Amino acid sequence: MQIILVGFMGVGKTTAGQLLANTLNEPFIDLDVEFTKVTNLTPGEFMRQFSEARFRDVEQRILKMQLEQPQAIISSGGGVLTLATSQILIQRSNYYVIYLASNFDINMARLKGDSEQRPLMTELTDQGLHELWQMRQTHYQEVADLTVNTNGLTPQEIVAKIISKIDEEQMHG
């Protein structure tokens, strides 16, 4: 199976992705982990040391490489769709795109203790984060084959919902 999870930072892409990969017995790829393997810096460290533009360029090259995997569950970075060319790469791939959506306030509550790993949490005001969240929603919706609302759901419930929707689509599609 070829699935890529998209959504705002803190929505649970990595946790749900690992669980989904284990459940479906597929390899799991976390783009942020792959980024760190390639650059020897976390995305946060890289952005602080260089720039977001340079980060997005490297991230896109890693995305392109990973989309060539014949089978995988991929967890993307929250801003992977920032570059239009990354959106096109995902849309042209054979990967089924699942958008994990959540309420902004729920998302922010999940992120509060994790700002060290997420430069945008310290660089932007709450208003700035909300504007970024709103802007990215459009990008996620544009590429999504399936949207799963994660509000109030455990990772196990998110995965059960994804599998149920995929099974449903395979039966009717």
Sequence ranges of the binding site for Mg(2+): 14
Which residues line the annotated binding site? 10-15, 32, 56, 78, 118, 136
Which residues line the annotated binding site for substrate? 32, 56, 78, 136
CA distance 89 to 73: 16
**CA angle, 147 then 58 then 11, to 5°:** 30
Which residues line the annotated binding site for ATP? 10-15, 118
Burial of residue 106, with CB atoms counted within 10 A of its CB: 0-12 exposed, 13-18 middle, 19 or more buried:
middle
- Residue type at position 137: Q
Strand bridging mode 2-6 / 146-149: unpaired
- Torsion angle, alpha carbons of 76, 81, 87, 93, to 10: 0
